[in-house]
């Protein structure tokens, strides 16, 4: 069948083509938003892990200085075994546990750190120190 000379076929996309393109675009945008959300969550987790490890190291360094006799004796006796420190404008609860290890005058110092009101620890670092009394 021939078309009449005055009749032209309309140019453009069909409804099915537009629907398929929109569904692909929606899938791509959804995936991109999911990846951005994962990145943000990971960034917060790494930040918390960094600050909690920093609190742990600060307390382990204090006890290392005590073991090396770099601090005054009256400061050693006042060291707390638990408390709350601020790091990165956020409070962090910490707790020190000292255990005897195998060997003469060898002790294991472990500092566990987490957020106040949350039982889960974000970091737990330990060090073995020789402490001569």
Nearest to 110 by CA among 120, 98, 94: 98
Q: Tens digits of per-residue pLDDT, 79-121?
A: 889 999 999 999 999 999 999 998 788 999 999 999 999 889 9
Mean pLDDT of the chain: 89
Eight-class DSSP state of 69: T
Say yes or no to pLDDT of 71 above 80: yes
- 128 contacts 106 by C-beta, under 8 angstroms: yes
Nearest to 58 by CA among 89, 92, 90: 92
- 111 contacts 96 by C-beta, under 8 angstroms: yes
Number of domains making up the chain: 1
Sheet holding 121-130, edge to edge: 82-87, 90-100, 106-114, 121-130
Eight-class DSSP state of 132: -
Is there a domain that residue 83 lies in? yes
| CATH number of the domain enclosing 68 | 3.30.1300.30
Domain residues for the domain of 77 are 50-130
Is there a domain that residue 45 lies in? no
Supply the pTM of this predicted model: 0.73
């Amino acid at each position: 069948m021939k078309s009449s000379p005055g009749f032209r076929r309309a140019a453009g996309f069909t409804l099915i083509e537009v629907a398929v393109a929109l569904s692909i675009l929606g899938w791509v945008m959804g995936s991109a938003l999911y990846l951005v959300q994962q990145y943000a969550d990971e960034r917060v987790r790494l930040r918390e892990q960094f600050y909690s490890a920093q609190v742990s190291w600060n307390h382990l360094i204090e006890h290392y200085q005590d073991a090396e006799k770099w601090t005054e004796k009256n400061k050693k006796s006042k060291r707390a075994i638990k408390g709350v420190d601020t790091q990165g404008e956020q409070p962090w609860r910490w707790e020190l546990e000292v255990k005897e290890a195998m060997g003469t005058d060898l002790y294991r110092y472990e500092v566990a750190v987490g957020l106040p009101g949350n039982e889960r620890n974000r970091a737990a670092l330990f060090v073995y120190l020789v402490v001569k009394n």
